[in-house]
Structure 1
Amino acid sequence: MTVIDSGPDLSPDLSTLLARATAEASAWDAGTGLPRDVIGEAAKAGLLGLDVPVAYGGGGAGARAVGQATAQLGAVCSSLRALLTVSGMVNAAVHRWGTAAQRQSWLPRLASGDVLAGFAATEPGAGTELAAVATRIEPRDGEVRVSGHKVWVTFGQDADVLLVLGRAPGGLTTVLVPADAPGVRREPVTDALGLRGARLAHIGFDDVRVPADHVIGPPGFGLTHTVGTALDHGRHTVAWGCVGMAEGCLAEAAGHVARRRQGDTPLSGHATVRAALGRAHVRAEGARSLCERAAALRESKDRQAITATIMAKYAAATAAAAVSRDTVQLLGAAGCTTNGRAGRFFRDAKIMQIIEGADEVAELAIGDRVISQYAPHVRDGQR
């Protein structure tokens, strides 16, 4: 497979990991997911702490460097990309909202891969609307007790610690829950549409006792601040990963139509085929441009960065879904195998569109931004 060359030379460890993923990603998707030693290789390559400050043992990478690395992973294996995403989400939340002691205690272990993190927010009754979570986080006798049920936890089968969103007496909050604590139950998910290599799990918490110093951020700030920071980081990496998927599919489609012949005519000789490639190229390039813009705004700490990231994620997920669909169509029978790369990306891209809710959720947020930018005099009550 051709990995899109979109950045500086890769480290030897990352090159080795990408080569292995290229050869084994379909098997991971069809089997039991990423082997634990692959997670170790990702940690060795610096992916689990890519943008954690150097002072805490991370790589100190900026938003664009993180995006470039994520696109490289996305062009090979969405589940491997998801490993970087979920690690980065928890790292970002702890770094932004943890105390100095919490940052010193957790970030070096998370960045090195000594502790693998999971992010547990979604519930059966709280997906897009996370304010509706029912999980309880209750202070008691100098500790906190966690009770509830979380679903679709990426790498939930393997995580050593879980950042859990729940309802405390002072409002929504988050707490780091060791996954081996008594009362934690894991239910592996084996029938997901996409991200089948990402070791998904539903996780129950039955009156789990956790030290009080594992609470991240003050009560009432759990969703708007701690989880908000995590989700913003997640959108950034998902967007770039989708760019990688779209570009990977485009490269595969172009190679196939150049080689494949119908009688004496290569598929690339058909105007409709070239037009399909043209549409795919524009979609991928447009998504990459929005990701580049979002990364630049993030690095400059511009107030528009959050909205720009939402736009990039929306455009990139849409592009990945469209380009992978067209690639499967162009490949014909060769693209219809369940575990072929194009078919795998087709399924994974649909999951990327569903994350955080239907496309209309992002469209509404972007539409609100349009109103505030071009018609700032309009207020909610006047619409």
Structure 2
Amino acid sequence: MPTKPTVKPKRPWFSSGPTAKRPGWSLAGLPEGLLGRGIRAPEVVARFARGLELTREVLRPPEDHVLAYVPGSDTGAVEAAMWGMLGSRPVQLLAFENFGKTWAVDAKDHLKLEPEVLSAPWGRWPDTGAVDPKKDLVFPWNGTTSGVKAPNADFIAEDREGLVICDATSAAFAMHLPWDRLDVTTFSFQKALGGEAGIGVAVLSPRAVARLDEVEASRPVPKLLRLTEGGRFNRALATGTMINTFSVLTIEDWIDALEWAKGVGGLDELVRRTDANFAVLAEWVERSDWIDFLAEDPATRSTTSVCLKIVDPRVTALDDAGRQAFVWRMKGLLEEEGAAFDVESHRNAPAGLRIWCGCTVEAEDVAAATPWLDWAFGVAASTES
């Protein structure tokens, strides 16, 4: 039986969403003065506006881009862009993981479009040679469920005619994004900065705002996804006004996360911390013979939602259900010991592990978790021998 490690991560939170809270976070540290106030009260709107202001300061999009809150986390933000902007041009989608596939299904079955889907198997980035600058494009920058990210933005033309809608929920605040190639960039509070769930953000370029102003949606848009008022972009959304009632506690938690991000050094430091966490995990993967990256090309390996596949013959010989059961045995062992929580792959992805390495995680905790992963694998594998 493998020897059990003695040192555990101080913060064993490795879920890919909601992700770990910032170091030193405490619920008691959040302001309570506006709880119970009306969502349209000037003081409350001012706090939501402050959240957008801090988001801009940390994320650093161009000054001519506008930010707006959307209900439903990143999913709501992507859907708002798709429902409100697609239909006037042909549409392409990149589908190489669960959410990209979801956007493709929504475009075809719910928006009644005829999208061209550029797909790739789990672990691979699609062939983007067929991306057409005359068409609208929807894609995830970082595949949270596959551990595959865009290697660069070279496939997006600077002089494009179509809009680019980018689901960046597990890339924002952890990777530098090419704002000149993205027209709608979406993310949620609960990914890269460990915020609470339920609210998404859409960053809109002038081209995206112009689409909302000039092209009427070709379908009725539900109120929760409606970015327009009177046939134009609702400019009030860029000032902290909300589409519906949002949680005041959630926005206070978001402001807390952003203030921490500014305090530690801003976006460059967030990216550095993420890269350092990934480097620790990558070094362990390279020296371990039972585990490997799901992403085949090093240039497309996510540094946040790191997805891993078990390559030991005792596990690869199992059927899908057997491999899934093996992962859940490992998960149970790790969580019973309090060594690592929520490290299993997404339910729709190939059975394996997924370790969040974003900026709110500490490199020393990633290092402390790896011997426990070895131990859990050894214990689970001993029952397969």
Whether TM exceeds 0.5 here: the answer is no
Question: Which structure carries more relative contact order (alpha carbon 8 Å, separation 6+)?
Answer: 2
TM-score, length basis structure 1: 0.28
Larger helix share, 1 or 2: 1
